[in-house]
Structure 1
Amino acid sequence: MCDYTQVHYKCSHIRYTVRAWCIKYQETHKRCPANVVAIEYRLDQNCGPFQSSK
């Protein structure tokens, strides 16, 4: 399984970002089930292009 970080944003969306690709993915380029190994909170950021200007 590939290791992912679960990221929480101010806009209440959650995204999963890869931390490390597993050997199976590196060989086949087919994604396997995500293995969440960390949770990160970016509560000062929106997740997409609609981020507010400061």
Structure 2
Amino acid sequence: MSVISMKQLLEAGVHFGHQTRRWNPKMAPYIYTERNGIYIIDLQKSVGMVDDAYKAV
């Protein structure tokens, strides 16, 4: 089970990324889509990364 749920991430607004003109190409695998000039982060990948970070700490 995840430490934090996808619903909690959505409610916190974690899925909102940077403006499309200010981005790092290394983030490309984690971008879900672009909407209104802002990148939307893939929360399915984020949940897994949060779990990995939690286990490391």
Report if TM-score (shorter chain) is over 0.5.
no
TM-score interval, normalised by the smaller of the two chains = under 0.3
TM-score (norm 1): 0.23
TM-score (norm 2): 0.23
| Larger gyration radius, structure 1 or structure 2 | 1
